[in-house]
């Protein structure tokens, strides 16, 4: 392994910055410093912690332009969407500061024979987060702010291609008044990361990434008897039912497939359309996708930017080619363009069926899988015919029936009705099956790495 690495602008293919990996001794010292900061932080009241988190949110807004520009430079998202991401991060800070004290409040409970008990949500210690590149700020804020509210210390291993964003967030947290060392970015390799998981002062591990990464991290942490939260992506199905409004369905599905250049774990990926709607939806959907312009993510004229890395683009194109070799049809896109940068066109695949990557796997980029269903019941069968279960959507003018279908039949963690959405601070975020386990947001994330401690007064 080399001691240094470069971040690369995916819009140009040119280097941004060179970084050096930390030594094992420096990484261990960072863990110990985080633990020492935790020992003091855990004693501060929820309200006091909340004031610091509120201040971090304010600092995120103050440095919004700088952080947004850096995220777009490092991973290629549209600049407008980088601004949206910073706004969401600040909103998470505000929500957590406001609702954390009540979510984490000690509970009084009566127990047998007139005795009394209390349930205290005590922090565990140092929580280690391994985060991906697709939302360089949000992925970090999502787990770190909840755990800081709970009283834990937080370590971050960010994806190497967004190292600058991780280091800038550490600086912003300190500027917001977070005690020195309580949140720290570890610039380390994957081999070093495995050692961090096993460190005696690390009490929990959370990862957002691929199923393979989740399996590896979950195994390492489980062997060390440490709790994990894993968010592992998906191939989310959006169902266009027989009573769907065509215009709403097309707009929702295009936006849901292409947001963040199609590199979103809860992006719409499989479009399951019933027979009565199929021909009209296919024509309108392909027309909209053909009109999408890939270009410089800092320009307002661009509809999507590049993919984050060359290897990711190559992998996506390989999935497209394998799907075509197994019977899929390209309706638009599907070819790597010439020129600088890691661009890939908005692509629609039809005749998608079991056995193809477009049906079975997660296509992490601007490629849509169009699947023909007989009727509404068949559409739900196809949606659930997946090893994943993170998000999904239902397009129907009968909202109440769609809600009932989502609650009772859709085997996934999150369902959007007649629209595409991202994370919401007051709603749980997470999945089932190979999409992982555990929840973030909505108060749930604040308690994932706490000790629900039972205190029973017997006299």
Neighbours of 369 (CB within 10 A): 28
Nearest to 208 by CA among 256, 287, 142, 112: 142
DSSP letters of 338-369?
A: SSSS-----EEEES--TTSHHHHS---SSEEE
Helix (H, G, I), strand (E, B) or coil at 379: helix
DSSP letters of 224-242?
A: TT-EEEEE-----EEEE-T
- CA 45 centroid distance within chain: 29
The answer to whether residues 97 and 173 touch, using CB atoms and an 8 Å cutoff, is no
Phi-psi region of 33 (alpha: psi -120 to 50; beta: other; left: phi over 0): alpha
Nearest to 144 by CA among 189, 96, 176: 96
The single-letter DSSP state of residue 112 is G
User: Is 34 an active-site residue?
Assistant: no
Helix (H, G, I), strand (E, B) or coil at 393: strand
User: Is 231 an active-site residue?
Assistant: yes
Distance from C-alpha of 131 to C-alpha of 173, rounded to nearest angstrom: 17
Q: Measured at the alpha carbon of residue 99, what is the angle toward residues 138 and 427, in degrees to the nearest 5?
A: 55
Distance from C-alpha of 427 to C-alpha of 442, rounded to nearest angstrom: 4
- Which of 231, 360, 362, 448 is catalytic? The answer is 231
Distance from C-alpha of 181 to C-alpha of 109, rounded to nearest angstrom: 36
Distance from C-alpha of 197 to C-alpha of 191, rounded to nearest angstrom: 10
Nearest to 438 by CA among 99, 208, 159: 208
To 10 degrees, the CA torsion angle through 89, 92, 97, 100?
A: -140
Distance from C-alpha of 221 to C-alpha of 333, rounded to nearest angstrom: 41
Task: Point out the residues that are catalytic.
Answer: 231, 265
């Amino acid at each position: 392994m080399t001691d240094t690495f470069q971040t690369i602008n995916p819009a140009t293919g040119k280097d941004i910055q060179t970084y050096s990996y930390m030594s094992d001794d420096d990484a261990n010292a960072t863990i110990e410093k985080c633990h020492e900061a935790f020992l003091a932080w855990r004693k501060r009241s929820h309200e006091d912690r909340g004031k610091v988190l509120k201040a971090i949110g304010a600092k995120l807004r103050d440095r919004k332009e700088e952080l947004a520009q850096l995220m777009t430079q490092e991973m290629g998202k549209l600049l407008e969407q980088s601004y949206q991401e910073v706004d969401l991060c600040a909103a998470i800070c505000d929500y957590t500061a406001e609702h954390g004290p009540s979510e984490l409040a000690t509970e009084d409970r009566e127990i047998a024979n007139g005795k009394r008990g209390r349930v205290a949500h005590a922090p565990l210690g140092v929580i280690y987060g391994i985060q991906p590149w697709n939302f360089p700020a949000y992925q970090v804020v999502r787990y770190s702010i909840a755990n800081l509210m709970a009283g834990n210390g937080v370590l971050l291993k960010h994806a190497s291609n967004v190292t600058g964003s991780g280091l800038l967030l550490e600086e912003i947290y300190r500027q917001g008044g977070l005690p020195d060392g309580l949140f720290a970015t570890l610039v380390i390799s994957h081999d070093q990361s495995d050692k961090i998981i096993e460190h005696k002062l690390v009490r929990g591990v959370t990862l957002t990434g691929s199923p393979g990464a989740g399996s590896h991290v979950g195994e390492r942490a489980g062997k060390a008897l440490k709790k994990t939260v894993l968010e592992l992506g998906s191939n989310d199905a959006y169902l266009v039912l027989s009573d769907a409004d065509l215009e709403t369905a097309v707009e929702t599905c295009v936006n849901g497939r292409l947001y963040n250049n199609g590199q979103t774990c809860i992006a719409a990926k499989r479009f399951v359309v019933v027979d009565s709607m199929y021909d009209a939806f296919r024509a309108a959907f392909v027309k909209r996708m053909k009109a999408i312009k890939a270009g410089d993510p800092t320009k307002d004229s661009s509809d999507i930017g590049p993919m984050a890395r060359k290897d990711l683009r190559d992998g996506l194109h390989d999935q497209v080619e394998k799907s075509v070799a197994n019977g899929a049809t390209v309706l638009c896109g599907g070819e790597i363009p010439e020129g600088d940068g890691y661009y890939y066109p908005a692509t629609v695949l039809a005749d998608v069926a079991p056995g193809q990557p477009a049906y079975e796997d997660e296509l992490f980029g601007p490629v849509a899988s169009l699947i023909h269903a007989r009727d509404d019941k068949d559409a739900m069968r196809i949606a659930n015919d997946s090893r994943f279960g993170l998000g999904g959507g239902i397009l129907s003018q009968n909202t109440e029936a769609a809600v009932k279908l989502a609650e009772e039949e859709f085997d996934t963690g999150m369902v959007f009705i007649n629209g595409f959405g991202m994370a919401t601070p007051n709603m749980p975020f997470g999945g089932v099956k190979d999409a992982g386990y555990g929840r973030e947001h909505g108060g749930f994330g604040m308690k994932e790495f706490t000790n629900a401690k039972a205190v029973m007064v017997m006299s």
